[in-house]
Every structure is written in structure tokens, then in C-alpha cells.
Chain A
Amino acid sequence: MGKAGSGELVQGTLPLLILRTLASGPNHGFAVARRIQQVSKEVLRVEEGSLYPALHRLEVQGWIASEWRVTENNRTAKYYRLTRAGRTQLEREATRWNAIAEAIAAVLREA
């Protein structure tokens, strides 16, 4: 997993991606990683080494909350869901990110 070159995450974007993914509904860590991969058409790959610490940091900060649930395969998994504070944070971060992305794009176009 996470081969260099194909999909290294831009520094600091992982929490944003996690928050956005959980905005579509509660899920466990594995599914979050897979979903990011799928939606980004395999461009973005999430390493376990960063995923779980990131999830826990978000939980400590109170932007996501967790509970234990049983999956379809009859395994217990830790499901994360977005809290209200997390939703606000997502909006804030997304706005900021879009602004930066647009700015970069503008520079690339015109400079």
C-alpha cells in the first residue's frame, strides 16, 4: 500500500478528507481509507500508519465521535461519525482548501 509517487497526500489534507468522507455517513477506518481511494480514482492512497493516528487526533479534538458496531460480516468494528463541531470544522477547512486550490490554479494559469 501507499507506493510512493502514485498518491502521496498533500501535507495536512488527511483530516479534511476523513471529515468529508464521514460527512456521507458513519463508517470504520478501513472503509474510510477505501472510500478516499475509490472517490479519488485511486490517486490518493491512505496509509494505515497515518490513518489511525489521524482518526484518534480528530476524536480527541471532538470533531468525530466513535462507537462499536457489528458489521455485515459479523465483526465488531469502531465506527466514526461526524459531530456537529466536526461539521463546522469541515466547512471551515473545505472553504480554506478551495480558496488555496483556486489560488494555486490561478497562478498556474496566468503567471
Chain B
Amino acid sequence: MSAWRTLLHRIGYLSRPRRFDRQLDAELRFHIDSRADELERQGYSRSAAEAQALAEFGSRTRVAEDARAAWQFRWIEDLITDITYALRAFRRYRAFAATAVGCLALGIGANALIFSLVNAALLRPLPYPEADRIVMVRFTPPHQPDQKLGTNAGGYFFIREHSRVFERMGVLRITGFSVAVGESDSVAREWLQGGWASPGLTDVFKVQPVIGRWFRPDDTQTGVVISHGLWQRLFGGRPDVLGQTIRLDLWRGVVIGVAPEGYQTLTPDVDLWIQQPDQDLARALRSPNRLFNVFGRLRPGVTIEQAQAELRTLEHPLGEYLPMNDGWGLDVDSLREAYVGYLRQPVLVLQGAVFLLLLIACANVAGLLLAQALNRQREIGVRAALGSARDRILRQLLTEHVLLSCVAGAVGLALAWFGLRTLVNTGLSAYRDLQNVTLDWTVVGFAILISGATALVFGILPALQLSRIDVVTAIRDAGRATAGPVRSRLRDGFVVMQVALALVLLVGTGLLVRSLLRLNAVHPGINPDRLLAVQVPLPRALYANTGGNTPAGGLLVRFDSRFSDLTERMRDRFARVPGVRSVAATTPPPLGGRARRVLFRKVRSLSDDRDPWSSEWYAVTSDYFETVQLPVLEGRTFTRHDAQSSRPVVLINATLAARYFPNESPIGQELQTDILDDPPREIVGVVGDVRQDRYQASPAPQIYVPRTQLPYRMDMQMALEVLVSAFVVRADVDPAALVSPLRDAVRDIDPTLSLSSARTVEEYAAGQLQELSQYATVLGIFGALSVTLAVIGILGVMAQAVGHRANEIAIRLALGAQASNMLALLLGHGLKMIAAGIVLGLAASLMITPVIRSFLWSVTPTDTVTLALVVSGLALVALLACYVPARRALKVTSVAALRGE
């Protein structure tokens, strides 16, 4: 209490020191006058009394000072002096201050920028009550613990039944819907992701809708809860949205609630939720399809490790109860890990990279400060001679450094803000989990923290050096620029460190760039030029649930001729759109998305006892190969005669032909896939390889079947895949101009249909490399910055080295030494630093670059070509940075230095 009052009083004093001094003076004056009155009463004359009183009082200044001291924070006054002094020093050494602030601001800004990503992805709490208790349970296939998949209905019920660690569990199944608002059929449809939510799901997340309510088990109509974003977009944020009709495919739903902003189940693009009652789920009890995502809220006090340990014990019983889960593992992850765990490594690597950049900046500024110390020897020496204590000088210097880094921190934050805006506007939108990246107070706090830390890192060594100054030599030798051997070695050390760190960043960037180049050089196998892929999800009305089960227990659906009729009608309609050269249908689009994988073996071959092979599987229309310009190497492609009633046929790609039929012609042989009801098919042709996924080290085996010969019955999962048809359009014009006419064409055929996506194949191709190329770009920018900083460092050291050997050089030149010899002498110094830096940097790279191994493609972290290119490039730039100042110095030195002497 008293301490608090004391503080207030002192702050009060700080605001009006002058008035205080006046009052103190009056108070002391009164004392002296009173004493004089007393003396006068004892018989002194007035003037004698006053003189006597004054004399008795002693030093009024000292009394005043002691009284004042009661009111002051001594250190604040000192600090103000220090800051004033520092500002004066900066004004005097403007170039130095600007360079130092610039370097540090780059380092701090880059760190703040990347930290804002780390903060958004890994630190900021998810917007659910006690979010750390929410987990996802996923299944891992036998022997593939890293691949985390959804669960089948049976698995969910089993876990819910037998586990004791969850307070509540729920599942979500995500599907696409063709959505329209209102009753009218003429409203344009939109393809949206929706989630079928089991009753427990809302209790897991425990978030109430901002308006309306969640579903209830006794709801009679289809209640739909929409996302905050969809509310804004489709309903303009109107509060009377409740009760509005929303049409999903052929159903009618009613909006009963709006989820709060940021409410996210599995992925941010799920825009609406519908109730899926447990009895629906129960019907799929024996289905092997892993369509469901399991969420759980842990009981209070249960850790994720405990939950994981309990689920481990359920794996075996689950496999015995439902054989399709035999060998599968159960994996528990926190909600954050499940949502953005994949971002952890990339953002932490980037944070590491910018940390290196900051270290370079620190080394740079430390070097600058050491050079600066030479200029300031005299000034510091004089202060020391006048009695400034060493700790006082040290404090003064540290104040300067802290001030420098505060300014740099502010500039850096501004840089980070601009950088973030650029990033959000360009690349970041691709990362749907990184939408809410902002420079919030956590980031600002982080920037302040690292600013303070950097001040210590770069400032402490130079400050100790300078404050330990020997007064006499400092004053005598100042201006003659004699650097002690220790100091210049220290400075060289900073340059070595910068070169080494820059090399690490460059090697990382180089490896990524080389991966990119290699990937780009991979031919996709088709001609992507002016090739547009539009996806039109066909309505579920095209299949009727047969109510039957696959042998494994999955639901079966039955197709009839409506499916191929609709596909044909759309193909015809698209072909009539002006600018379209040819159209074909496939699943999925070329280079866009993962193809279905099937197992196959050769039919009627007693000698063939090999295990079934795995292959990508595509269902295409007859003109697919012509449209995407996939070359036919042998045999024929599909024709209109390959109909449901005719002999089942299949095409294979060159890789499959070469590997599976190494010494025979595949034409005429028969293949059998593991697809339900799929007949044995005769191989009628061999086509080229397509790199559906460019990251595959070699082309995968591929199988093409005609869409006219699909089995009538399919399991649910395959039906859903086939129903999302991709139409591939080869255009004569700019494909972007075709999107709108194609959209109209779809509505022409059926107003309940909608395009779910329209992208060129080139966009798909670029999309596959997007993550890597953005990563390489960002690292490349940091690499370039690091080289710039290192060059500034080298320039500074060389300028100083040239400067303090100016006399020696001038005399040698005057005595007839060759200028080239002198140049070699100066360059030798630089060369040694660079060589040391590169050796250190290479060693550090070998230790550090394995962390980006997972981003590399057919390039090892020790790739010799990359290392050689990066080393020689950096060495060249660094040597230039040595050569230029040395060369220029030699021209000027000879005359000027002698005159100066």
C-alpha cells in the first residue's frame, strides 16, 4: 500500500520538477528567515542575523539535493539522459544507425511474420470450450501407422460402446450437395460441402449456434444448421434466416440455426450440417467404407495418452468383432493436431529459417558496432577520463543498443504487417486452415521479446569491448584507426558466421528449387494446353439403394441406364458450346485428385500365381484419349460399340504392360479386377503413362474402362466417386472464357445440377506443386535477404580493413609495389573469411537440411549439384563484395593516405 502511494507521489513529482524546486527553495528560505527572526530577538541587527542564519544553515544545495532525492527515481533520470545521449549519437552516425536498424528490422520483421503463422496454426486456442479435451479418433491401415483414415460405422459403435475415456462421442460424414435457397427451380445451384452429424457431435464441440438451435432427435423435418460464412453469403446475414427453405439435391431442408464464426468440423469448407440419426448409422454397421470421422470429448482429467492407451487395447477385439478392421490401428489426436498437424513441420522450419536470418542480422550489426567502436574510441575515452564509471558507460552503450532494436522492432512489425497482407492476398488462401492469420498482441509481444533479446545478443560483446577501453591509448590513437587484433578478429568472426548461416539458408532453398525443377520437368503424359476440367456431381436419384450388402458388408447401390444417358446428354450439350473442340468424361480429372486404386490379376493363367497387382483405375468415355491427347501405343481405344451388352474391354498403360507382361503382347489377354461384379475384361490396347500425381517417383500402372461398361451394382463409396463426373474439355479459345457458357449448359440440361469446380488441367498441375513452390519462394526470399546482409557485412569489414592498412599500402605503392600485389593482399584476407564461412556453413547444412527431407523430390539433402552451385554462387558474390571496395580503395589510397599522414 505504502509502496504504491510512494510510486504515485514520485510520478507526481516527475510531472512537475520545476515547481517542486521553487517550493523547496521557499521552504528552506522560510527556515533561514525564522532563524534570523530568532537571532534578531536575541539582539542581533537584522543584517547580522540574516548573515548568521545563512552561515548556520550550511549548504543549501546539498539539503535541496537530498530532499529532492526522496522524490526521484534515480534510474529514470539516468535513462532519460542515456536516451538523449543515444539519440545524439545516432544523429552523428546516421549511416550506421540506418544500416543497423534496417538489418535488424528485416530480421525481426521476418520473425514476426512467420510467428504470426505459427501463432495461428499452433498456438492460438481453438474456439471451443475446453478445446484441449476434444480429440479425433482415426484408423490406421495395417502396417501404415502414418496414414490416418476415417472409420466405418461398426468401428464407431464399437469404440463408443467399449471405451471409458470419453464423456461424449459423435461422428461426421462429409458429402457434397447441390444446394439452392428457396422453392423456385430456376435458382442457380451451388455445390457445397455438407456434414451429416450424429446426435452426439454437438455435445462434443459444445458450441451453441449464434441464432437458432442444433438438431433434436425428435425433429420431424430436415433441420439444417448453416455456417456463419454461408449465412453471410447466401442470406446476407439476415436475422430472419430461420425457417427458410434450403434445398439439398432433391431434399427440402429448413434452416434451424447458424453456427458461430470459426466453427469448424474437420475442414473449414463444410458449410452446413444435417442430422444423421443413430438408426441410419446402424444400418451401415457392417459396411467396410470408412466414411465417418469420429470426434470425442475426453472425460475431465483424462489425457490423450491415456485415451490412446485405452484404444490400443480395443484394436484387437474390434478386429475380431468386425474382420474388416482386423489389423487396423486406432489413433487419437488432439483436435488441433488433427486439423493443422500437417502444418507444424513447414511453419516450424520457416521459423527456424527466419531465426537464422535474425542471427545473421545480429552478427551484422555486431560487426558494425565493432567498426563503430573505432570511431568512438576518443569520445568514450574522454568520458572515462572525466570520471564516468565503467558500468555507467556500459549502460549507456546498452541503452543505445536497446533503442536501436526498439526502433528496428517497430519498423520490423510494420514490415511484417505489409508482408502478411501480401502473403494473405497471394499464396495463403490456398491453405484453408490458415485463414485467420493476424498480427495480434501475441505476435507484437513476440516481436518486442526478440527485439530485446537481439539487443543483448548483438550488443553485449561490442559494448564490453568498448567499455574496457584503455583511456590513454584511446585518446592518443583515436582517429588513427588502429584496431586491436582481438577486435578485428572478432569482427572477422562475425563475417564468417554470416557467410555460414547464409549458406545454410541457401542450401535449403537450393534443394527445394532443384526438387521443383525436377518435378516441373516430369512430363504429365497428356497435353494440358487449353484443357479444362469441369466437375458436375450427378444427383443421387440416379441410384436406388438396393438394400443389399456387399460380401464385406457394405451398402450396395444400383445404377440404371439413366446414368450413362445423362452423361451422354451432357457431353453432347458441352460439345455444342462454341469454342469447344472435344469433350470426354472421366473420374477424376487428369492431374486433379487421387484415382481409385484397384487390385487385378490375369485371368485363366494357371502359371500365374503372383499376388494381385495394384493399379489406378479410370472410367472414361470413348473419346477421352483423343481429347487429352494421350497416345495409343498398341491396339485400339474404346468405340461406341463397346456397350454394356458387348464384350467387356479394358486399356492399360505402358508401365503396366511393361511390368506385368514383360515378354508377351498384352493385347487379347484378360484382366480381372477386385471391383464387385466387374467381369473379366479383354485388353484391347495400350496407352501412354499419365502422372496423375507428379510426386510419384515413377508412373503408376493404370487401367481404363469404358463408362458404358460399368457394373450396374457398386458399393456406396465407388458409386459416390463415379457420380462426381469430370468432363474434360479441349478448347479452341481461352478455357477461362468457357466456364460461364458451360455452367449455363449444365442448367439447360437439369436446373438441379451445378458445377462443383472448373479448373484448367494446367491449374491442377500447378496446384500439385503449389505448396512446394510457395515454400521454395518464401525460403528463397529469406535466402536472398541473408545474402544481402552477409554482403553488407563483408563490405563493412573490407572497408575497415582497407582503411586501417591505408598507410601501409600507400607507402608500399610509393616504394614501387605492384597494385595487383596489394589487391591480392587485401583479397587474401576476405578469401580466408569466406572460405571459413563456407566450410562451417556446409557442415551446418549437412546437419540441418535433413529436416526438409520430406519436401524434397528425387533430391537428397546432400545433393552435390545443389551444394556445388550454391557454394560457388555464394563464394562469387562474397568475393565481389571483397573485390569492389579493395579495388576502389587502391585507386584512392595512394595519394590521399600519404597526404593524411
Contact = CB atoms under 8 A, between A and B. Distances in A.
Nearest to B66: A53
A15 to B, nearest CB: 12
A25 interface: no
**For chain B, which range describes its interface: under 10, 10 to 19, 20 to 34, or 35 or more residues?**
20 to 34
Interface in A20-51: 28-30, 48-49
A73 B35 CA distance: 13
B207 interface: no
Contact of B6 (A48, A62, A68): A62
Given A48-B57, A49-B66, A53-B69, A30 B6 contact: no
Given A29-B27, A56-B70, A78-B23, A73 B37 contact: yes
Given A52-B63, A60-B71, A78 B27 contact: yes
Contacts, number: 69
B9 A60 contact: yes
Contact of B70 (A28, A60, A76, A78): A60
Contact of A48 (B23, B33, B58, B68): B58
A1 B56 contact: yes
Interface in B738-782: none
A77 B6 CA distance: 24
Interface of A: 1, 28-30, 48-49, 52-53, 55-57, 59-62, 68, 73, 75-78, 85
A56 B21 CA distance: 13
Contacts of B62: 49
A85 to B, nearest CB: 7
A77 B31 CA distance: 9
A29 B9 CA distance: 20
Interface in B1-60: 1-2, 5-6, 9-10, 23-24, 26-28, 30-31, 33-35, 37, 56-59
Interface in B653-673: none
8 contacts: A30-B35, A49-B63, A52-B31, A52-B63, A53-B66, A56-B70, A60-B6, A85-B1
Interface of A is mostly: helix
Minimum-distance CB pairs A-B, first 9: A53-B66, A62-B5, A56-B70, A30-B34, A56-B67, A57-B70, A78-B27, A77-B30, A60-B9
A52 to B, nearest CB: 5
Nearest to B69: A53
B235 to A, nearest CB: 62
A57 B70 CA distance: 5
Contacts of B34: 28, 30, 75, 77
A74 B56 CA distance: 23
Contact of B2 (A28, A29, A61, A75): A61
A68 B68 CA distance: 18
Contacts of A1: 56
B27 A52 contact: yes
Nearest to B60: A48
Contacts of A60: 6, 9-10, 70-71
Contacts of B67: 52-53, 55-56
Given A49-B62, A78-B26, A56 B33 contact: no
B63 A29 contact: no
Contacts of B37: 73
A53 B69 CA distance: 8
Nearest to B8: A62
